Amino acid sequence: MVFGSQLIQCVRNVAAVAWEPGKPLVMEEVEVAPPQAMEVRLKILFTSLCHTDVYFWEAKGQTPLFPRIFGHEAGGIVESVGEGVTDLIPGDHVLPVFTGECKECRHCKSEESNMCDLLRINTDRGVMLNDGKSRFSIKGKPIYHFVGTSTFSEYTVVHVGCVAKINPAAPLDKVCILSCGISTGLGATLNVAKPKRGSTVAIFGLGAVGLAAAEGARIAGASRIIGVDLNSKRFDEAKKFGVTEFVNPKDHDKPVQEVIAEMTGGGVDRSVECTGSVNAMISAFECVHDGWGVAVLVGVPNKDDAFKTHPMNLLNEKTLKGTFFGNYKPRSDLPAVVEKYMNKELELEKFITHEVSFSEINKAFEYMLKGDSLRCIIRMDA
């Protein structure tokens, strides 16, 4: 492929390929085609494992699409660019993101939305938008992409709208985790719930996303951060993220929203739900204070779930909101989130519980399945 005076060749690299649902990934030599129009090819230096990768690797609740290269939290360097790409050049440090920002649609032009019409997440699509083809192949056989990123590969091709250019001084082995879950939880609190200094906040679910939401409440200056989880063992870890109190619904004989209302004199100022359980969603909404309380839903429910609450909760001026990727626009907003880390306002190291070499990537899945891992960093050069 020739772009201007630049000749861009296919590259052969190692990728961790999922051939079947739930089976260990296999290290394979994969050919990565040149980037087409409005695409960039990235050299991935660090990637991490998210629950979403595991969910789709297990083929739960989806139409299985295999063979596939998973991975969507990562940091890397631009290796080459396709025709029409003007805001990235080889050598730029970037974060690929599972959702995008075309900057042209109504959502991208709106200050209130980050749900790009063109590049919104699509878990069923395994090919590139430009021509409906994969950029990965083994001996001519196509290997499917995952959410437009496929970072479990030394090189990957991504639409330019799904790439955030960041400060080259930022350590990619740390900021790579901002590509998905950490930004989702952080933004749910800072951008959507918007707690005031001294306010009370309840966080439902203390996995990585919930702890990121707690981190957002800490940064915002909340005076009380109440963690709600069915696993009491998570409380000690949650203290590192600013959680001051813990409630396990199993320890009470009344709905947890009533417990929280009693603890706080009528309810919390803000709540953030990060579990995907519809019951937790209802509790998160009903536990906020009337008159000014705001509940934010982050977790993705089952497709047949129904949210049920009495309309008086709304008439009593409780507010219910939802969010996608913490309301961050990937290209416009993620660079500033990276700067929060660089300025020591945001702490990322405490989210990273494990680190493995690329050849040991299946260990990262084992850690996640055992519940031992928040984020496992995978070093691509080792």
Q: φ and ψ at 356, to 5 degrees?
A: -135, 165
Which residue shows structure tokens 């996303």? 209
Stretch 234-254: mean pLDDT: 97
Identify whether residues 248 and 364 lie together within a single domain: no
CA atoms within 13 A on the CB side of 288: 31
Identify whether residues 216 and 322 lie together within a single domain: yes
Stretch 167-196: mean pLDDT: 98
CB atoms inside a 10 Å sphere around CB 176:
28
- For the chain, the residue count is 382
Q: Is residue 363 part of a domain?
A: yes
Which pLDDT tens digit goes with each residue over 75-87? 999 999 999 999 9
Identify whether residues 225 and 312 lie together within a single domain: yes
Cβ partners under 8 Å of residue 12, min gap 6: 29, 30, 31, 32
Considering only CA atoms, which of 70, 244, 63 is closest in space to residue 151? 70
Identify whether residues 193 and 295 lie together within a single domain: yes
Distance, in Å, from the CA atom of 249 to the CA atom of 277, rounded to the nearest integer, reads 13
Q: How far is CA 346 from CA 58, 162, 221, 315, 341, in A?
A: 32, 23, 13, 37, 5
Q: Is residue 7 part of a domain?
A: no
Q: φ and ψ at 203, to 5 degrees?
A: -115, 120
Identify whether residues 218 and 294 lie together within a single domain: yes
Sequence letter at residue 200: T
Which pLDDT tens digit goes with each residue over 254-308? 999 999 999 999 999 999 999 999 999 999 999 999 999 999 999 999 888 999 9
pLDDT band at residue 4, thresholds of 50, 70 and 90? very low
Sequence letter at residue 320: L
Which pLDDT tens digit goes with each residue over 318-327? 999 999 999 9
Has residue 1 got a pLDDT over 70? no
pLDDT of 381 reads 82
Considering only CA atoms, which of 81, 41, 67 is closest in space to residue 138? 67
Q: Is residue 115 part of a domain?
A: no
Long-range contacts (CB closer than 8 Å, 24 or more residues apart) made by 83-88: 83/3, 83/36, 83/37, 83/38, 84/37, 84/38, 84/160, 85/35, 85/38, 85/39, 85/40, 85/160, 87/160, 87/165, 88/40, 88/160, 88/163, 88/165
Mean residue pLDDT across the chain: 95
Share of residues in the chain with pLDDT > 90 (%): 93
Distance, in Å, from the CA atom of 276 to the CA atom of 234, rounded to the nearest integer, reads 18
Q: Is residue 45 part of a domain?
A: no
Cβ partners under 8 Å of residue 65, min gap 6: 124, 126, 144
Find the domain containing 269 and state its range: 183-326
Sequence letter at residue 199: S
Identify whether residues 311 and 373 lie together within a single domain: no
What pTM, to 2 d.p., does this model score? Answer: 0.95
Q: Is residue 357 part of a domain?
A: yes
Distance, in Å, from the CA atom of 98 to the CA atom of 119, rounded to the nearest integer, reads 9
Distance, in Å, from the CA atom of 200 to the CA atom of 225, rounded to the nearest integer, reads 6
Identify whether residues 322 and 373 lie together within a single domain: no
Stretch 8-35: mean pLDDT: 96
Sequence letter at residue 5: S
Has residue 63 got a pLDDT over 90? no
- Give catalytic residue positions: 50-52, 72-73, 102, 105, 108, 116, 120, 180, 375
In sequence order, what DSSP letters do the residues of 130-188 get, joined into one string?
TTS--SEEETTEEEB-STTT--SBSEEEEEGGGEEE--TTS-HHHHGGGGTHHHHHHHI
Please, are residues 228 and 213 in contact by the beta-carbon 8 Å criterion?
no
Q: Is residue 245 part of a domain?
A: yes
Question: Helices 278-286 and 256-264 meet at what angle, rounded to 10?
Answer: 30
10 vs 145, which has greater pLDDT? 145
pLDDT of 3 reads 46
pLDDT of 382 reads 56
The conformation of residue 289, written as its DSSP 8-state character, comes to: P
The CATH code of the domain that includes 319 is 3.40.50.720
Residue 125 tokens, joined: 């699509």
Identify whether residues 312 and 360 lie together within a single domain: no
Identify whether residues 267 and 307 lie together within a single domain: yes
Q: φ and ψ at 56, to 5 degrees?
A: -80, -25
pLDDT of 222 reads 98
Identify whether residues 286 and 358 lie together within a single domain: no
- The number of folded domains in the chain is 2
Identify whether residues 234 and 277 lie together within a single domain: yes
Which pLDDT tens digit goes with each residue over 332-364? 999 999 999 999 999 999 999 999 999 999 999
Identify whether residues 321 and 365 lie together within a single domain: no
Report the Cα 206 to chain-centroid distance in Å: 15
Has residue 61 got a pLDDT over 70? no
Q: Is residue 19 part of a domain?
A: no
Q: Is residue 26 part of a domain?
A: no
> What is the dihedral sign for C-alpha 56, 157, 373, 218?
negative
